[in-house]
Amino acid sequence: MHKHQVDPDHFLNTVHAIDYSPVASHDGLIEAIRALPGRKFILTNGDVGHARAVLGRLGKADDLFEDIFDIRAMKYTPKPLPEAYEAFFATHGIDVERAAMFDDLEKNLLVPHERGMRTVQVVAGPEFAHDQVEAWELEQRGGSHVHHVTSDLAGFLRRLP
C-alpha cells in the first residue's frame, strides 16, 4: 500500500471480484462447526465481504461465527505477523490456552502455537488444483508448531472428543 500507493479498498474489491460458484455447499462442515463448544471466529487476511461470500456458498452459516476479524480490523497488518494475532486476541478476549487455530497455511500457525493455542493445518486434498496457487503456499514442512493436519475438516471436527 505504501510502497506502490495502492488503495486497500480498491485492491480488496478487485481481488475479491471472483466467481464463488466453485465453492460447494457443505452442510456437514457447517453442522460440525456448529457442534463445537465455545465461541467461533474467522481471522482472515481477506475482507469481511469475501468471508461472507464463501460462507454463503457453504450453507446456512449466518450465525455460525461471532465475528469475522479481517484485514481491515488488523489495520492491514496480515497474518503471519504477530501484531495481527495480538489485535485479534485482545479485541475478543481470546484465552489462547483454551483455543485452537485452524489455517490452510502452515506459516500462519506459528504465532498461535507460540502463544499456547492448539493448531490444525487444513490442507487441500490430492484432487485440488488451481492455477493461481503457488506450491509454497500449500507446503507442509511438518513443523512442531502444527499439532494436527487434515484434508477433511468436517470429519476431523466430528472425531473430536
Per the structure, the complete domain to which residue 131 belongs is given by: 8-158
- In this structure, is residue 1 part of a structural domain? no
- Examine residue 28 and state whether it is found in any structural domain, yes or no: yes
In the three-class reduction of DSSP (H, G, I as helix; E, B as strand; rest coil), residue 102 is classed as: strand
User: At 90, which helix (H) or strand (E)?
Assistant: helix 82-92
Is 2 inside any structural domain? Answer: no
Q: Where are the beta strands (DSSP E) in the chain?
A: 41-43, 67-69, 100-103, 118-122, 148-150
User: CATH number for the domain including 27?
Assistant: 3.40.50.1000
The reply to whether 150 falls in a domain is: yes
Secondary structure (3-state) at 48 = helix
User: Per-block average pLDDT, block size 10, for the chain (161 residues)?
Assistant: 85 89 94 96 96 95 95 96 98 97 94 98 71 62 88 96 85
With cell 500507493, the residue in question is: 5
What is the model's pLDDT at position 13? 86
- At residue 130, the pLDDT reads 57
Number of domains in the chain: 1
Residue indicated by cell numbers 485452537: 100
Confidence (pLDDT) at 124: 80
Say if 33 falls within a structural domain.
Answer: yes
Is 136 domain-assigned?
yes
pLDDT of residue 134: 66
Instruction: Give the span between the Cα atoms of 82 and 112, in whole angstroms.
Output: 9
Question: Is residue 56 included in any domain, yes or no?
Answer: yes
In a domain, 98, yes or no: yes
